[in-house]
Amino acid sequence: MKLLFCGDVVGKSGRDAVTKYVPTLRAELGLDFVVVNGENAAAGFGITAKICEELYAAGVDCITTGNHAWDQREALIYIDSDPRLLRPVNFPPTTPGKGIGLYPVSGGRKILVMNVMCRLFMDAIDCPFQATEKFLAENKLKQQADAILIDVHGEATSEKQSLGHFADGKASIVVGSHSHVPTADGWVLPGGTAYQTDAGMCGDYDSIIGMKKEPPILRFLRKTPGDRLTPAEGEGTLCGIYVETDDATGLARHTEPVRLGGRLAQTRPWPRAKAAVAE
């Protein structure tokens, strides 16, 4: 199975990057499934039904969220009617929506997606390790699904790495979101789980984590509240990870970072693979 996970979509620049590059990547890579974290898609804060439809139309199959899930109040109502939009599974049981989705993939295969949120430097929430343990105990690779992807939405790299190793050999992919900066530690763990601490954001990198630079800089300089943060409006970069899984085991056999457009150094898996075959 060929899978793509894209990090937090920030504002219009991020949405434009997704709508520009996801259709191309689906064609070039022959992608089976695309997951995007959309919690900052609506002017940097939350997501709306209209934006969900925009992302689905671009070829996104599932949207995860995090601590900004409810910044747009309409999401509290909309999420129950959209099985492709997830919120962290370790929110309280009475929270609207769900944190796990089972989706069909071509060839009669299925993929399970789980959205979980960390606790270090984040909101008080149920234990992400217990939630992950319960999920993996109830959902086995090649039994309930042919692939399992876990979006770990968190601040601390140590917590996200711990969850990656905790799930190694039981999930196809464990990938971090939330920090908006792509990490350089993408690899296949010893047990066969593809891992990267943070996929990075889809947005304008001439910014402070996707926001116009001046207000956050002034907040640090003055230690006082300032103007409302608004997304930067330059060309966005699509950041994510590409993973190929083994259909026999459900585990990962290859992973690469994806960075297209905007200001970051570009990396595109398919042309390199195609060139290697040609040589």
* Residues taking part in catalysis: 68
Give the rounded distance of the alpha carbon of 47 from its chain centre: 14
DSSP H helix total and E strand total for the chain: 7, 11
CA-based nearest residue to 63, from 16, 18, 13, 108: 18
Sign, Cα dihedral of 226, 230, 233, 235: positive
Helix (H) or strand (E) holding 50: helix 49-57
DSSP 8-class letter at 105: E
Judge whether 183 and 160 are in contact, CB under 8 Å.
Answer: no
Pairing between strand 62-64 and 33-37?
parallel
Residue 267: φ, ψ to 5°: -145, 125
CA 138 to CA 175: how far, in whole Å? 20
Rg (CA), the chain: 18
